Structure 1
Amino acid sequence: SPQMLKRCRSKLPGMETKLGTFFAFPFLEDRFDFVATSYALHLLDDDQKLLALAECRRVLKPGGRLAIADLMFVDEAARQAHLAALARDGKNEAIAQIEDRFYADRSRLLRELAALGFAAEARQLTTYTHMIVARLK
């Protein structure tokens, strides 16, 4: 966002910044050694997530790394089991918050990363936060 770029420039005046989106980074192919995203993918639907991963892949150099920290479930079965447990406990507000966002299916992200040529590892950090670290082969 323009506001975040302004904040970045005030903290790091010598750093190059550009405005872009998950679907069109304003950089050429094979430009970066490392791409990171934290708590942004859950704002994208499942198809948009796949487009975003492909864009991250496009700008990474061979051997580059991608780190993703975001709201996820291990897979759809884990999501359904968690929502059922929340429903049994009457935690309707928590259910509404989960359904208001696009928490990722981690298994789907890992499959897509493999299809894009990444070797990836994943770890669950909290109930909802997962970390994926992937290296481009």
Structure 2
Amino acid sequence: MGTEFIDLFDQWADSYDATVEGQNDEYREVFRNYSDILKSVADKVSGKVIEFGSGTGNLTALLLARTTDVTGVEPSREMRRQAAKKWPEAKIVAGDFFQFPDDRESIDAFVSSYAFHHLTDDEKRKAVQLYASLLEKDGKVVFADTMFVDEHHHQQMIRKAEENHYVHLAEDLQTEYYTTIPKLKRMFENEGFEVNFSSLNQYVWILEAIKL
């Protein structure tokens, strides 16, 4: 995951849960249906699961209710500290989308929520290639993240944020590495996945890719 964002993750750790619960007007739509989004990700996987960008462990907890073999991967020390306080039974280790525990045999699924956009498109492509090499047939990648139908849609959402005077959101939409559905679709299909997208709010879609 982009190391340039780790300081931001550390700063956000104490207020992250309040933000996802809708207490920050600026990001309320980004996190609308947050519980349903996480549940939808968790419900799509089973077996041995690697979760990227675990944050404060909200998705991790749902995954643990479905399968005991879950490893959370989180680059921010402060986020890991918050997760350990809330979910002491969870295994969340330092790492990112490329660096995760060396025991990579028989992984059934890679999951993530609100994190894949921290990779550039080139990094996303390399990550997809890595996951394709580690998953067997019917293995899954299930990512919930902000993405856009096309670049025009992306620009529309930036303008909307600016019109609402959501300064931080508008800046995020311009400086983080959000991408489009067609680009993601090609990345996964080129590596032998069947991929589907479902919209959960104005910003967030769930990408479900199944290894053929």
TM range (shorter): 0.7 to 0.9
Instruction: Report runs of 4+ in structure 1 exceeding 4 Å deviation.
Output: 84-87
State how far apart, in whole Å, the 2-side matches of 1:9 and 1:73 are: 33
Aligned-pair distance for 1:30? Answer: 5.5
Comparing 26-35 with 60-69, which one deviates more in the overlay?
26-35
Q: Give the number of the structure whose residues are more often strand, by fraction.
A: 1
In structure 2, the residue matched to 1:122 is 197
2:89 corresponds to which letter in structure 1? K
Higher RCO (CA < 8 A, seq sep 6+):
1
Task: Find 1:32's aligned residue among 80, 95, 107.
Answer: 107
State how far apart, in whole Å, the 1-side matches of 2:209 and 2:173 are: 26
Q: Secondary structure at the match of 1:10?
A: coil
Aligned-pair distance for 1:97? Answer: 2.4
Aligned-pair distance for 1:117? Answer: 0.3
Aligned-pair distance for 1:28? Answer: 5.7
Comparing 123-132 with 94-103, which one deviates more in the overlay?
94-103
1:71-86 to structure 2, matched below 5 A, reads 71-86=146-161
TM-score (norm 1): 0.78
State how far apart, in whole Å, the 2-side matches of 1:10 and 1:68 are: 24
State how far apart, in whole Å, the 2-side matches of 1:136 and 1:111 are: 14
1:68 corresponds to which letter in structure 2? F
* Percent of aligned positions that are identical: 26
Aligned-pair distance for 1:39? Answer: 1.1
Mind listing any 5+ residue stretches in structure 2 that lack a counterpart?
A: 1-73
Mind listing any 5+ residue stretches in structure 1 that lack a counterpart?
A: none
Answer yes or no: is the 8 Å Cα contact 2:141–2:208 preserved in 1. yes
In structure 2, the residue matched to 1:103 is 178
Answer yes or no: is the 8 Å Cα contact 1:114–1:120 preserved in 2. yes
Aligned-pair distance for 1:26? Answer: 3.3
Q: Secondary structure at the match of 1:48?
A: helix
Cα offsets for 1:77-115 (capped at 9, x unmatched): 22123334555x364613222113222222101110000
